[in-house]
Amino acid sequence: MKSMLLALGLTLAAAAPALADARSACRQDVETLCNGVERGGGRIMRCMSEHRAALSPTCKMALADRMLERRAERQPGAERGGQPSKQRP
């Protein structure tokens, strides 16, 4: 049980910097493009998606990095450092 909690904590700690980086990199874009949009419920992300062509290159890169990290987290074997599990016939 302790090892499971440790693994979960490490996973969340690894994801936190990417999210913080994206928030920091996109702060100005959010203020400029989504000013007046109420926070919560995914409204800011929806606004940014609607204005994706106008996002700064820094914000686009941070969001792409975050997306790739989330995709890697969902793939089988991610909990083992990205090593695919061996299938037995």
> Within a 13 Å sphere around the CA of 37, how many CA atoms are in the beta-carbon half?
19
> Residues 17-69: pLDDT tens digits?
667 788 899 999 999 999 999 999 999 999 999 999 999 999 999 999 988 98
Residue 55 CB burial class (10 angstroms; 0-12, 13-18, ≥19)? buried
The one-letter code for the residue type at 38 is E
> Residues 60-89: pLDDT tens digits?
999 999 889 889 988 876 555 555 555 555
